[in-house]
Structure 1
Amino acid sequence: MSACSNFTSPGIAQAYLLILITLLFYLEMTKMPLECYMQTRSARQRRLDYDPTFLLAPDQNFCKDHDHLMVYQTRTDDFEGRAFFRKVFSNYSSQHNFTIIFPLGLSSNLTVNEALFEEHTRFGDLLQADFLDTYRNLTFKTYAYSRFISRNCTNVLAVIKVDDDIVFNIEWMFSYLSGINRTTNTLHCRTVEKPFSIRDKTSKWYISEKDYPFQYFPKYCLSPLIAGTPATFKALHDATTKIPHVWLDDVFSTGLVAKEAGVTFRNLSINIDSDYSPFLARTVIAQYLNKTDDMTMLLKAMESKVISRPL
């Protein structure tokens, strides 16, 4: 996990802050909140006609000497979480030759953005693009990091996207990733079969008939853990702007877009229940976390014995 050696330049810091201040000044003059600005911009894009501008990004050679890339999703203000994940995975990154990036959007809080700049200056592993980092804008985040992978990480054997509420058996996972078929476009994840669109306006995942007129979505991946080759992520990236945009990230990025790109699925065993027994028994490769602090305990339990099982 290398830092960008040239990122401490005052000129770069000033340019970064100037971009943020200019945007915030424009919003102040127009009396438009940042979230409203970003949502208005998004609403005009029936297709995701979005060309990411990276405000913070790892060096172009960030992936050059690594076999795997881990994409870790966190909130912009979760500085402690990213510090925790860096510490936890530093014990494994050399052994399995992987590196980590943290994709982010903009915070509506200028102080948070300034702190992100300082964090990236120190670690060089943030990928911040020009969209507001909210739950409804996760499709922007997925498209942005897929762009970075497509242009800078084509050399790695596999990419694994991980949310901050899941743990996986590291030995088992990287053994599995080292053997995946690189001639087919396949997403490796826990899939949702024949999911129906939710019309209840009180639901977190509500979608109107205007935005999606069909009763069912195509098969898609649950978001916490998704793996594939760089070629698969590029295929998804390239297909993203070819179909109508739906704000639900899992549904859109790994369902509708995957269907358009001709991507297939291979199921991974992920326990979504709060009981850790299946993970500790090594019958599943990944486990939802009740709390982040449980990750260390579960990883130490996995170190006691290396096991390989069919997925």
Structure 2
Amino acid sequence: MQKKMLSGSRKVIRYNGRRISTEFELFYLNVSTDKLMEPLIHKHRYISLLNTSMKCKHKYVFLLVLIHSATYKFDERHVIRNTFGSISKFDNKHIEYVFVLGQTMNDTQQKEIEQEGVKYRDIIQGNFIDSYRNLTYKRVFSLFWVNRFCNNVTYVIKIDDDITINIPFLIPYLSNKLNKTKVLECLYLIGIKPYRKPRNKWYTTLSEYPFATFPPYCAGPSSIMSADVIREMYEATTLVPFFWLEDVYGGGFLPWISRTGIVHPKCYIKELQASLKDTPCHLFYINDIKNASHPYIMWKTIENYTQNLLCKCK
């Protein structure tokens, strides 16, 4: 993999019509081995503290939905289970849902999570502290888990727990794809610069990332991936140093190093609040103002709409 990558390295290329610098690629492909020794990211020494390994066993899974959720977000997980997460089959296509969590130091909260896991059998929990700065560990843990326990899947979707999926629109969309490999679709960003002010939430030091712009990457809330892309990105984790901005690392560095192109589909994602009275013609909706009732209203709108094949998004 690495020889192939090195031979294709250039300083400036055109990507989806834009000229972008690839200095970061040269940097990462020549990184010292001491930066590739992280036990979880590079050696994949993950332990599933909670597991639901039977999700994909002895069955054909068309779509696996990985929902990245914070340990304390019990209500958000409940909403998902009672809306789109209640659909396990659509158009005769099997769908599985898994909530991805890290560890909590709160013993009471951990007991509640364990009870939740026993009740619903849809939680996996990795051996890392669940925090914003550790989201990259969660991303790689997701890749690890799919490769180990659900490698017979056709598509994988990674979402945050504030996303509503338009299942009646999504399944036909995926089913109609002529090529079901090398699929990576998302809201992608090009030319984004690192934040250099220390007080900023996303402050990135020059030692963490020394270049002026990030590579093109998938914004964090949702991504659609084919099974081969999951495998290739998982392999690429052994070549890329840890970087704490999960969407840049998992949605940018890994696809770039594994030579996976990013596509931003039409009708991909829309703010949920602005869509409650619209025809539901987008694949994903994001609960941007975190209103607890909006996902239920949106899901009812989706359920009641029967003309998905005629959808024209605005």
User: Do both share a fold (TM > 0.5)?
Assistant: yes
1:300 match: secondary structure: helix
How far apart, in 2, do the equivalents of 1:186 and 1:90 lie? 23
Superposition map of 1:244-259 within 5 A: 244-259=241-256
8 Å Cα contact 1:71-1:161 kept in structure 2: yes
Tell me the residue number matched to 1:196: 193
How far apart, in 1, do the equivalents of 2:37 and 2:133 lie? 15
CA drift of 1:94 comes to 2.7
Q: 1:58 aligns with which of 52, 55, 58?
A: 52
TM norm structure 1: 0.79
Tell me the residue number matched to 2:41: 48
Taking structure 1 as reference, are residues 91 and 133 closer, same or farther at Cα in structure 2, changes over 3 Å only? closer
1:71 match: secondary structure: strand
Taking structure 1 as reference, are residues 110 and 211 closer, same or farther at Cα in structure 2, changes over 3 Å only? same
Superposition map of 1:49-128 within 5 A: 49=42, 50-60=44-54, 62=56, 64-65=58-59, 66-89=61-84, 91-95=86-90, 96-128=93-125
CA drift of 1:81 comes to 2.1
Taking structure 1 as reference, are residues 172 and 197 closer, same or farther at Cα in structure 2, changes over 3 Å only? same
8 Å Cα contact 2:272-2:294 kept in structure 1: no
CA offsets, 1:170-191, max 9 Å, x none? 2111111223355542311110
Taking structure 1 as reference, are residues 48 and 97 closer, same or farther at Cα in structure 2, changes over 3 Å only? closer
- Length, aligned pairs only: 270
Taking structure 1 as reference, are residues 122 and 281 closer, same or farther at Cα in structure 2, changes over 3 Å only? closer
Taking structure 1 as reference, are residues 132 and 90 closer, same or farther at Cα in structure 2, changes over 3 Å only? closer
Q: 1:280 aligns with which of 272, 275, 278?
A: 278
Taking structure 1 as reference, are residues 150 and 180 closer, same or farther at Cα in structure 2, changes over 3 Å only? farther
8 Å Cα contact 2:36-2:239 kept in structure 1: no
How far apart, in 2, do the equivalents of 1:90 and 1:136 lie? 27
Tell me the residue number matched to 1:139: 136
Superposition map of 1:184-223 within 5 A: 184-223=181-220
1:128 match: secondary structure: strand
8 Å Cα contact 1:70-1:160 kept in structure 2: yes
Taking structure 1 as reference, are residues 152 and 98 closer, same or farther at Cα in structure 2, changes over 3 Å only? same
CA offsets, 1:274-301, max 9 Å, x none? 6524982345332221324211211221
Higher share in helix? 1
How far apart, in 1, do the equivalents of 2:282 and 2:192 lie? 23
CA drift of 1:117 comes to 1.7
How far apart, in 2, do the equivalents of 1:206 and 1:178 lie? 40
Q: Which runs of 5+ in 1 are unaligned?
A: 1-41
Tell me the residue number matched to 1:34: none
Matching residue's letter, 1:67: F
8 Å Cα contact 1:270-1:285 kept in structure 2: yes
Q: 1:170 aligns with which of 167, 172, 189?
A: 167
CA drift of 1:225 comes to 1.2
CA offsets, 1:73-127, max 9 Å, x none? 2111222222221122354223342111011110011221222222212222111
How far apart, in 2, do the equivalents of 1:218 and 1:176 lie? 28
TM norm structure 2: 0.78
Q: Which runs of 5+ in 2 are unaligned?
A: 1-34
8 Å Cα contact 2:52-2:124 kept in structure 1: yes
CA drift of 1:160 comes to 1.0
